[in-house]
Structure 1
Amino acid sequence: MTVNDAERTHPDDQPADGEPDSRARRVAAARGAARTLHRSPLHVPLAERFSALAAAAPQVVGADDATDIYGDGVVAVLEEEVARLLGKEAAAFFPTGTMAQQVALRCWAGRTGNATVALHPKAHPEVHEAGALSTVSGLRTVHPTDEPRLPTADEVRELPEPFGTLMLELPLRDAGFVLPTWEEFEAVVEAARERDAVVHVDGARLWECTPHFGRSLPEIAGLADTVYVSFYKSLEGLSGAALAGPRTLVEEARVWRHRYGGKLFQQFPAAVSALLGLKHVLPRLPAYVAHARVVAEALREGFTAAGVPWSRVHPERPHTHQFQVWLPYAPDILDEASLGQAEETGTLLFGRWFADGPPGLSVTEVTVTEEGLGWTAGDVREAVAEFVRRLPR
């Protein structure tokens, strides 16, 4: 993908070059929509977000608890909870996932004696971190495959040079939030072990992988030596991430976190919001995944019924509660149709569209969360018909 991670994470909220009012229009349309498949926290006004966090905080922290200082207090509570949920010995809070992942990979490079990381070319460090693995951490990357999926066991075995760490992004977001089968996941981990490599999982969105794998979080995380998880991508937290794994490696990671400038004086707002996400959003994710599959099927049916010359929902059966939609129109045409539908009917079906792949094709990411659970398949098909009515014929 050619756009930056902030744009892909929250496509409704990034101003396009030369369009100073485009963000304001998108946010206004999202706030004003009576019906949407997902309501981003970024669309909530600042004061309302502050008030909601303060009102909910007593659900996860004591009213008289002290604020954290350099990672104690509520931050330590969050770390313990993440380690428990993932079945790991320890976890460390990081202000960003980018930092957590770089630290994990450089720690493993030191322990394995090999600074080469095998990963997918669409993985987050290759696409969204401005070459940080090599520029900042002195690491080198190789690619077992460039197919739009995770590598297979044979591709890992046949990689013609040694590597110290195999990094797997679960799900692989820029390929369409795709996951391997459980058997494929087990096999690729075993192939890495045969190569004397450790396995690190980019689990920014690991929380919603349990329905696809049919396994618990500890079982999934248990196949990897270390796992990074995000608190804002799926759990609706303010920010932050955690690195979980062996206690000795996590302690080493804390040292590198300080060196990278990630030992912040106070982080309690992010930690509280993360605990609230674990308490309230995490249990809802399987329902979101199940309904995303209903929505995806209805979208396909809707585009077919509306006579769109070509469309694709990818994956056909979503692996998580997020997936891609592809249409043969320019992004500005699709953006205008999306915004016009929201402004005129109060229904926001799609977020921002991007040019990608062959000329003339555009892609958007669909996320189904609490708001989307109220949509029936018929509601989705009707919304598609209204959306297509705004496209050129």
Structure 2
Amino acid sequence: MADQGDVVDVADEVGVVDELEGADQAARERRLAAWRGSERALVRGPVEQRIGEGLAALTAAAPDLDGALDDWVDVYGDGVVERLERRVADLLGMEAAAFFPTGTMAQQVALRAWAGRTGNPVVAVHPLAHLEVHERDAYLTVSGLRAVRPTTEPRLPTADEIRDLDEPFGTLALELPLRDAGFVLPEWDDLVAVVEAAREREAVVHFDGARLWESTTHFGRGLPEIAALADTVYVSFYKSLGGIAGAALAGPETLIAEAAAWRHRYGGQVFQQWPTALAALAGLDRELPRLPSYVAHAAVVARAMREAFTAAGVAWSRVHPEVPHTHQFQVWLPYPARVLDEAGIRLAEETRTTLFRRWWEPGPPGLAVSEVTVAAPALDWTAEEVTEAVAAFLTRVRAVLAEDGEGDG
């Protein structure tokens, strides 16, 4: 079974998809058994673990955390939670940080606080941002804010688009990377220019940095230099670091103090959070230093997949971006999601190899996308092995299509 360091960043496309689709329990059990039984995978998912295994992994990691097991358990955010907050503030070069049980809560609080300070409730945000797509419009419905769209293109906005917005806004919220556009990032100079454009508009800048940890390679800058562009930064502890849950909001000390007050009002003042804090600290110790190697290998995996689809004669396919900006990217194929899901499960059951996990059809029926995460288990895969796995996967895709009486795409 994978250790804690192998368990990263697939909860959204595993557990959440099941919940939203109301998946049949037997189908879910089959899928998890197939993934869990695989000897080879690009990433290990957190939902593959039994509870006892998760506890064992956390206990195994804890002795390396500078005497953390000798601390008292936390009470309403002291002790190990404060240690985590200081660690994050130092890593990002910010004055202070506050721990939140969820990123949705952290972002609501940040935007609400900035609206109060700027006197402007308008947030400039991309329509594909997590705030828009995955948080049920929380900042609009709970905090009474309003959105404007700098662009609808599947990329971060440009400086000119920020300057050309036809109404004032108090906060510019940038998701780095923009997940639903393909985990894409701007170039460094373009990001600097966008921030400067927002300052010209007398707006503050908030980074949705749930996956900021793995963005340093693309930017060629360290975390403090990246974070210094923003007034506040939210980071996640489970999306790339293998944590149980939780997030942090970092920024000026006075704003973080205000955020802590709103955290209490929003119900985030949890009595004890030491398991979540310990898992986050373990992720910062173990996974954060590894992320650049995952990003580098993602380029190898993406290229091998792209070439394998072409060699197999797939009518149309896309790996996006062609060279991933982080250790995650999208794969698009011209088949129904249910066919690709079934083929992936059969590949895992028959060859003990998990290549792709969940597929979905966000646009035209029959055109499906999957998110690929390259983590520690993938580092042993050569390009040739990726090519072979893709070929084996496509063989099963065609078999499922034949059973359904459908032609190959």
TM-score range, shorter chain: over 0.9
Structure 2 partner of 1:179: 185
Which residue identity is paired with 1:113?
A: G
Q: Using the alignment, how far apart are the partners of 1:229 and 1:217 within structure 2?
A: 11
Give the superposition deviation at 1:121.
0.3
Which residue identity is paired with 1:17?
A: G
**What is the aligned counterpart of 2:120 among 114, 124, 135?**
114
**What is the aligned counterpart of 2:24 among 3, 16, 19?**
19
Which residue identity is paired with 2:18?
A: Q
Structure 1 partner of 2:40: 35
Matched, 1:129 2:135: yes
Give the superposition deviation at 1:41.
2.1
Give the superposition deviation at 1:129.
1.4
Q: Using the alignment, how far apart are the partners of 2:41 and 2:164 within structure 1?
A: 46
Alignment of 1:53-68 (within 5 A): 53-62=58-67, 63-68=69-74
Instruction: Tell me, yes or no, if the aligned pair for 1:288 and 1:321 is still in contact at 8 Å.
Output: yes
Corresponding residue SS for 1:352: coil
Q: Using the alignment, how far apart are the partners of 2:70 and 2:34 within structure 1?
A: 40
Q: Using the alignment, how far apart are the partners of 1:9 and 1:82 within structure 2?
A: 26
More off after superposition, 304-313 vs 17-26: 17-26
Give the superposition deviation at 1:17.
3.4
Structure 2 partner of 1:363: 369
Give the superposition deviation at 1:58.
1.8
C-alpha RMSD over aligned residues: 1.4
Corresponding residue SS for 2:250: strand
Give the superposition deviation at 1:10.
3.0
Give the superposition deviation at 1:353.
0.5
Which residue identity is paired with 1:310?
A: W
Instruction: Tell me, yes or no, if the aligned pair for 1:9 and 1:233 is still in contact at 8 Å.
Output: no
Alignment of 1:137-156 (within 5 A): 137-156=143-162
Q: Using the alignment, how far apart are the partners of 1:213 and 1:70 within structure 2?
A: 37
Which residue identity is paired with 1:140?
A: R
**What is the aligned counterpart of 1:283 among 289, 298, 307?**
289
Instruction: Tell me, yes or no, if the aligned pair for 1:144 and 1:151 is still in contact at 8 Å.
Output: yes
Q: Using the alignment, how far apart are the partners of 2:63 and 2:12 within structure 1?
A: 33
Q: Using the alignment, how far apart are the partners of 1:309 and 1:237 within structure 2?
A: 39
Structure 2 partner of 1:258: 264
CA deviation vs aligned residue, 1:252-278 (integer Å, no higher than 9, x gap) = 000000000000111000000000000
CA deviation vs aligned residue, 1:75-122 (integer Å, no higher than 9, x gap) = 000000000000000000000000000000000000000000000001
Instruction: Tell me, yes or no, if the aligned pair for 1:243 and 1:250 is still in contact at 8 Å.
Output: yes
Alignment of 1:87-106 (within 5 A): 87-106=93-112
Q: Which runs of 5+ in 1 are unaligned?
A: none
Instruction: Tell me, yes or no, if the aligned pair for 2:11 and 2:46 is still in contact at 8 Å.
Output: no
Which residue identity is paired with 1:284?
A: R
Q: Using the alignment, how far apart are the partners of 1:375 and 1:194 within structure 2?
A: 47
Distance 1:310 1:95, change over 3 A: same
Structure 2 partner of 1:79: 85
Instruction: Tell me, yes or no, if the aligned pair for 1:88 and 1:244 is still in contact at 8 Å.
Output: yes
Q: Using the alignment, how far apart are the partners of 2:171 and 2:23 within structure 1?
A: 42
Instruction: Tell me, yes or no, if the aligned pair for 1:13 and 1:26 is still in contact at 8 Å.
Output: no
Matched, 1:223 2:229: yes
Instruction: Tell me, yes or no, if the aligned pair for 2:327 and 2:375 is still in contact at 8 Å.
Output: yes
Structure 2 partner of 1:245: 251
Q: Using the alignment, how far apart are the partners of 1:381 and 1:286 within structure 2?
A: 23
The count of aligned residue pairs is 389
Which residue identity is paired with 1:31?
A: R
Structure 1 partner of 2:347: 341
When the two structures are superposed, what TM-score results if normalisation uses the length of structure 2?
0.93
CA deviation vs aligned residue, 1:130-179 (integer Å, no higher than 9, x gap) = 12112111111111000000000000000000000000000000111000
Q: Using the alignment, how far apart are the partners of 1:190 and 1:69 within structure 2?
A: 41
Instruction: Tell me, yes or no, if the aligned pair for 1:182 and 1:213 is still in contact at 8 Å.
Output: yes
Q: Using the alignment, how far apart are the partners of 1:109 and 1:294 within structure 2?
A: 43
Give the superposition deviation at 1:64.
2.3
Distance 1:70 1:17, change over 3 A: closer
Alignment of 1:292-371 (within 5 A): 292-371=298-377
Q: Using the alignment, how far apart are the partners of 2:324 and 2:37 within structure 1?
A: 28
Distance 1:300 1:277, change over 3 A: same
Corresponding residue SS for 2:25: coil
Corresponding residue SS for 1:69: coil
Corresponding residue SS for 1:389: helix
Give the superposition deviation at 1:22.
1.7
**What is the aligned counterpart of 1:69 among 69, 75, 85?**
75
CA deviation vs aligned residue, 1:213-236 (integer Å, no higher than 9, x gap) = 000000000000000000000000
Q: Using the alignment, how far apart are the partners of 1:293 and 1:377 within structure 2?
A: 10
When the two structures are superposed, what TM-score results if normalisation uses the length of structure 1?
0.97
Corresponding residue SS for 1:254: helix
Corresponding residue SS for 2:195: helix
**What is the aligned counterpart of 1:208 among 194, 208, 214?**
214
Q: Which runs of 5+ in 2 are unaligned?
A: 1-8, 399-407
Corresponding residue SS for 2:202: coil
Which residue identity is paired with 1:177?
A: F
Q: Using the alignment, how far apart are the partners of 2:22 and 2:46 within structure 1?
A: 23
